[in-house]
Amino acid sequence: MTQYSIAIDIGASSGRLIHGYVEDEVMKIEEVHRFENKLIVKQDTFIWDVDRLFEEIKNGLRICRDRGLQVDTIGIDTWAVDFVLLDENGERLTDAVAYRDKRTDGMMEEVFALIPKEQLYFETGIQFQKFNTIYQLQALKKSNPEVFERAKHFLMIPDYLNYLLTGQMSNEYTNATSTQLLNAFTKRWDTDLLQTLGMNPELFQEILPPKTILGSLKKELAVELGMNPLIVLPATHDTGSAIISVPEQDAIYLSSGTWSLMGVENRFPICTKRAEDFNFTNEGGIDYRFRFLKNIMGLWMIQEVKRNYENQYSFADLVKMAKETDFQAIVDVNDDRFLKPANMIISIQTVCKETGQAIPQTPGEVAKCVYDSLASCYHKTILEIEAIYDRSYDRISVIGGGSQNELLNQTLANISGKEVYAGPIEATAIGNIVAQQMALGVLDDIDVARQIIRESFEVKRYWPVSPVTI
């Protein structure tokens, strides 16, 4: 019998509800509702408006009801690392402070003073980024110790939204790995690490894996929305869901969106000194697979460039203008100055000036600088992966919204000398639905799911032509 699922996929710039199901070994999806998500400023702090996000989720479910769409299960995924703390009554004590906020400045060094950097990597396997949850918690503990002491429950963003839907508290595995507080080998909260940092292990919930059926809607919500589906945990970290959708096996994947996540799928963590030196991460995936990857700044840069030009150019316009110029300059896209600059264009120009390169002036030159810089970083990351694995790869599988950028795909093929496969576009929502369908027994396993994905969604292919060095 056909089972119908809703993927609630919320990223840093937008959220969407996707209705999907599998029938005759083909997956079909339809967007039902889309809404904006953005950072807001509250008392000089960047936060997410999680209350509005929850209202948008309910709005989308009402649309499903009004359209007569059957909904058997719901799964939520969002970005990683951010969280809220709740008191003993389950009331929120903290805002959902955004990872781009400056509160974590200097916190990595404070944590390293308590636990050596090398030990932290060996135990957790997680890439060092100043916005990781561990450093956010350290900042909160330092700035608001009274709030930290009152807190009884730690929930990441999708955990909190699931709590609002069901009343059940848990921490989902794939997102929990991004905190840098999970032991990569035991797959449980590292209590020794938490105690060393002065954090109460009882603050954290039971870790549940993807495909867990969390429960039903709270009774009042079921009445309000006119439905009573099961809430199923997908890989609640959006990249974890996206990687489920990689159709090409034995390929390096690139999940391309606001962030770029590039790596390979593993059955075990790689916590070696070389992996640490290259700053790779071992994030959890479905069926306890590991996503050995590197976080790269991604299309956030071009999103900000577009905004800084007051949205007078579309993304397609910026690609077209980039194609029409032969401008060349490369910046380090992972420079912290690009994380949340006052003006992305000025930041790019400043870095080009500091490094003695030509300074982009026109929108086309700025866009080409971003795309070339991303492709250059992707290529460097590919070489690092091949060095760690002591092998070469022939293919790159680009998934997510960024897979539509033909200029970036072709530039990546040219600079890497590898075939690039682009698609599916809605990779995260598809992976979210896959986990729900597996929980229901509709799909047997991940290999069956990926075969169905290959047959159900378009994938474009790019061959290296006119090899370039940038």
Q: Which residues contact 287 (CB under 8 A, 6 or more apart)?
A: 209, 210, 445, 446
Contact 6, 165 (CB under 8 A): no
CA distance 162 to 75: 9
Q: What tokens appear for 253 in the block? A: 């994947």
CA distance 14 to 304: 14
Look up residue 84 and give its amino acid: V
The catalytic residue among 82, 238, 326, 447 is: 238
Count H helices and E strands in the chain, helices first: 18, 20
Q: What tokens appear for 400 in the block? A: 């997510």
Contact 369, 357 (CB under 8 A): no
Token pair 């300059």 in the structure block, residue: 329
Q: Which residues contact 305 (CB under 8 A, 6 or more apart)?
A: 318, 344, 345, 348, 363, 366, 367, 370
Q: What tokens appear for 357 in the block? A: 């390169």
Cis bond before residue 424 (omega within 30° of 0): yes
CA distance 124 to 184: 5
CA distance 189 to 209: 13
Distance of CA 163 to the CA centre of its chain: 21
List the one residue out of 69, 225, 241, 93 whose CA is nearest residue 158.
241
77 part of the active site = no
Helix, strand, coil share of the chain (percent; to 5) = 40, 20, 35
**R_g (Cα) of the chain, nearest Å:** 22
- Known catalytic residues? 238
